[in-house]
Amino acid sequence: MALERVKLERIEYQDPSKKKTKYGFCFTKNQQSAKIYTTDRELYEKFLEILSKMCILTTFEEDYEIEKLIGKGSFGKVRLRMGIFVIILI
């Protein structure tokens, strides 16, 4: 699955049998999805940093707060948002 225009969803899963937290991602494109998991939080954060620059994050509204309206035009509005990640939509 190529990562252009892929929706990225973050997953955190508590495995009751192993008492470990699994961190993962669900990639969705054209009604097809794939999931990957790791128990290494540091590795998860590194992947998130890289993937957030290539994919569309589904938690945009949760991760960013609207600061102010910068401008508007015939194609939409531009707002300044403050948050954790820098996202580039491809």
| Tens-place pLDDT, residues 14-70 | 878 878 889 998 888 888 888 989 999 999 988 888 887 777 666 666 666 777 888
Check whether 85 has a pLDDT greater than 70.
no
pTM of the model: 0.55
Give the residue extent of every domain in the chain. Answer: 7-83
Check whether 84 has a pLDDT greater than 60.
no
CA distance 90 to 73: 21
CA distance 64 to 77: 16
What are the two backbone dihedrals, phi and then psi, of residue 6, each rounded to the nearest 5 degrees?
Answer: -95, 135
